[in-house]
Structure 1
Amino acid sequence: MNKIIKKYVFFLIVVAINLLTMFFYPQVEKDTLIFTGENFINFLFMLTPIFICIGLLDVWVDRETMIKIMGEKSGLPGIFVAFLLGVATAVPLYALFPVAGMMLKKGSKITNVLIFICSCASIRIPLLLFEVSSMGWKFTIIRFIVNIFVVMIIAFIIEKVLTEKNKKSIYDKAKNM
């Protein structure tokens, strides 16, 4: 019983706060529940296509193909593919982690997966378009070039810091997804 309470302590606190709010401020609680419901529906509409794409990736792309494109010996072409995939995405970051897990499961190099995630977080095309419209071309180009180097440095440093035991653990966890 204590394990269950420990596991869901945050959820139980939120429920308790909601119950207190409902008792003392019913209109605020109504607005809160409406807001939560709308965000939950948006969350589902965002994740459903992502999980469909992950399922298709799992079925359609052979492990050998993924290893050839983004595996340990993929070199610069693997880095380029990971970077382009990351830049082309337009989904929230929480939706990218299942994709990254599937890439690891299929045999992608950890560096390439990190490049994918980092470029998704900081260099995506919709973000660049927003920056051009609000900050100008000069700022956007400078930030884009700096971020390319930063993304590569982060990915390679993390790859070097990880021990073989860490890497094996990451791949094992990805295979059990």
Structure 2
Amino acid sequence: MNFIKRYKFFIVTICILGIITIVNRNLGLKALSIAGYSFKEMALVIPPVFILLGLLDVWVPRELMVKYMGEGSGIKGILLSIFIGSAAAGPLYGAFPVAAVFMKKGVKFSNILIFIGAWSTTKIPMFLFEISSLGSRFAITRLLIDIPGIIIIAYILYYIVSKDEVRKIYNNAENL
């Protein structure tokens, strides 16, 4: 019974997919193919991310993370968050386990938000693609708008979200 409660969304989704396949075989098979592709993509991305996270957790002491990205880090924490997020590889869902490890290591909440924002919008490969496809003027303009936007949004969220809520988020990360 606990199994059914835990995986009810997955079970309902499989049932709906089965009904769709019975009603429209081509649509059902296409949906199954897309789901299989997404699962394969995640299976190739998640293991390396977790290996790197394990190494980060073991090799980088908490004191070092607090010094460079913690509460008193200032501009160096912001720049480091942008750099790490921009240099990261993989889809956005890979950023959240990294953010959880950052929380365990004492990284300031605004720096975590900046890291996630940089991961999603300022990746170096994406920037290089934009230069080659859309021109350097567009790519540099977008980057010059995105970076301050990320920082502004991160600090707005930092001040809007209550300290109690942030504490709960950090506690949840500790329990992972």
**Global fold match (TM > 0.5):** yes
Cα distance, 1:9 vs structure 2? 5.1
My pick for the range that moved more, 163-172 or 132-141, is: 163-172
Distance 2:144 2:156 in 1: 19
* Paired AA for residue 104 in structure 2: K
Distance 1:62 1:151 in 2: 27
Q: Does 1:84 align with 2:83?
A: yes
RMSD after superposition = 2.2
Aligned to 2:122: 123
1:156-167 equivalence runs, <5 A = 156-167=155-166
1:10-159 equivalence runs, <5 A = 10-26=9-25, 28-159=27-158
Cα distance, 1:10 vs structure 2? 3.9
**Under a length normalisation based on structure 2, what TM-score does the superposition of the two structures give?**
0.89
1:25-72 per-residue CA deviation (whole Å, 9 max, x = no partner) reads: 445544443443232122111101001111111111111111111110
* Paired AA for residue 146 in structure 1: I
Unaligned runs of 5+ in 2: none
**Under a length normalisation based on structure 1, what TM-score does the superposition of the two structures give?**
0.88
Quick one: percent identity of the two aligned structures?
Answer: 40
Pair 85,22 (structure 1): closer, same or farther in 2 beyond 3 Å: same
1:120-153 per-residue CA deviation (whole Å, 9 max, x = no partner) reads: 1111111111211221111111111111110110
Pair 168,36 (structure 1): closer, same or farther in 2 beyond 3 Å: closer
What is the count of residue pairs matched by the alignment? 176
